[in-house]
Amino acid sequence: MRITSIFICAFSLLSVSVFSQSSTDEKKQDSVKWKYTPNFTVGVDVLNLGTGLFSDRQMIQGFVSSRVSKKVHAVIDLGYDNNIYRKNGYDVTADGLFAKIGGFYMLSMDPENDLNGFYAGAKLAGSFYNQEYKAIPVKGINSEGVTVAFAPSTQSSYWIEAALGARVQVFNSNFFIDVNVQPRYLAYTTKQEEIKPMIVPGFGKSSGSFNMGFSWNIAYKF
Amino acid sequence: MLLTSCGSDDDICLGEESTPRLLLKFRNANNQLVRLDSLFVDVDYGKDTLKNIITSVNVDSVFVPLRIDESPYTDIYIRTRKGQKGSKLRVNYDKKSIYVSPACGFKINYENLKMDLLQANPVQSILPNNTSLTDENNINFYLRF
């Protein structure tokens, strides 16, 4: 958690400094009129795909983005997440699909390649999933290990998330590396028996409303 | 950004909303509230041995945590002298699971509390007072010595 926070802090400072340096270049580029032609970039999150091999959480996610104006890209994310929470007397499983829709704005662009640069954006996200509370602890003095269980159910959760990231073209190919962090806030969730979900597919651990996602994508531009 | 660091990795239940304990007070033969000069209370939680709840002198009340498992009753053993055989009390109840929070999980509330004196001496009789146990503010039973 601490490492993540340090990283985000450094990342924010970096993106701000890069932004201020490039502001003089923007005027030059603005004079050239940018025109929309159909374009799509498709990416797959290889970081979470890889960590799924070694952890309890298997997450596959990818995105499709399209540059809609000179500095604005629209983006849709789709994914599947299968996760367990087995801690402090809990035994919970959840798996399901999630989708995010939003856009991002290029904060700073490489003067020589305007697809490279740092960006910030926002997304609305929703997840539709099956969950099963196999055990939820019951707290009482002198009695340990007592739990209650509930039948599997279908639930949904909705959240908003910000995206801060960078996109870099791999040499002169159509491949890009897209790295971003997603601070997110759980806005609404359906509940089984008023129980707050411990994990939400696509969102992660949800006992607190805030969470942070991190993804490292390989993308291809068509 | 800073808000994300507020989410801790471990959810700690601070215990302010745990299962409430049964509250017992004592009366003498003349029905007056009394302090006991010594008291030993043991409870059967379904384990191999009884759990000692209190061994104390000069007490006017005792909080007894009840069982939260499937058992429909909790057996309580009360002595006023060491080595005494003591009294056996059985509390029957209906349990209700109440969701508290992610960190604390569930707690139990008890309804229709009923206490039977299975073995007398030193306890002579039981006076019910509040047969619902949802917090620790009410006296549930008076034990008459």
Of residues B15 and A150, more confidence is placed in A150
pLDDT over threshold 50, residue B128: yes
pLDDT tier at B11, thresholds 50, 70, 90: low
Chain A residue numbers touching B10 (CB-CB < 8 A): 87-88
Residue A52 covered by a domain: yes
Residue A42 covered by a domain: yes
Question: Model confidence over B51-66: pLDDT tens digits?
Answer: 999 998 899 999 999 9
Of residues B90 and A32, more confidence is placed in B90
Quick one: B63 exposed, middle or buried, by C-beta within 10 A (0-12, 13-18, 19+)?
middle
Closest in A8, A89, A146 to B68, CB measured: A146
Kindly identify which residue of chain B lies nearest to residue A135, measuring between CA atoms.
B105
Which of A15, A146, A214 to probe by mutation at the B interface, max B CB count within 10 Å?
A146
Closest in B4, B15, B108 to A212, CB measured: B4
Of residues B110 and B13, more confidence is placed in B110
| pLDDT over 70 percentage in chain B | 91
Number of domains in chain A: 1
Closest in A139, A148, A211 to B13, CB measured: A139
Closest in B6, B66, B102 to A196, CB measured: B102
Chain A residue numbers touching B76 (CB-CB < 8 A): none
Q: Where are the domains positioned within chain B? A: 17-144
Mean pLDDT of the residues in chain B? 88
Query: Measured between CB atoms, does A16 come within 8 Å of chain B?
Result: no
CA distance A23 to A133: 52
Are A9 and B1 an interchain contact pair (Cβ–Cβ within 8 Å)?
yes
Minimal CA separation from A8 to chain B, in Å: 8
Closest CA to B39 of B64, B19, B22: B64
B83 forms beta bridges with: none
Question: Model confidence over A5-36: pLDDT tens digits?
Answer: 554 445 454 444 444 444 444 444 454 677 88
pTM: predicted TM-score of the whole model, two decimal places: 0.78
* Mean pLDDT in residue range B83-98: 93
CA distance B115 to B131: 9
pLDDT of residue A1: 44
A78 forms beta bridges with: A62, A99
Closest CA to A145 of B117, B11, B45, B24: B45
Sign of CA dihedral B38, B44, B45, B50: positive
| pLDDT lower than 50: segments of chain A | 1, 4, 7-9, 11, 13-29, 31
Kindly identify which residue of chain A lies nearest to residue B7, measuring between CA atoms.
A208
Domain interval for residue A148: 38-221
Quick one: A213 exposed, middle or buried, by C-beta within 10 A (0-12, 13-18, 19+)?
buried
* Mean pLDDT in residue range B82-88: 89
Query: Measured between CB atoms, does A190 come within 8 Å of chain B?
Result: no
| pLDDT over 90 percentage in chain B | 70
Q: What is the CATH number of the domain that holds A89?
A: 2.40.160.20
ipTM: 0.82
Residue A74 covered by a domain: yes
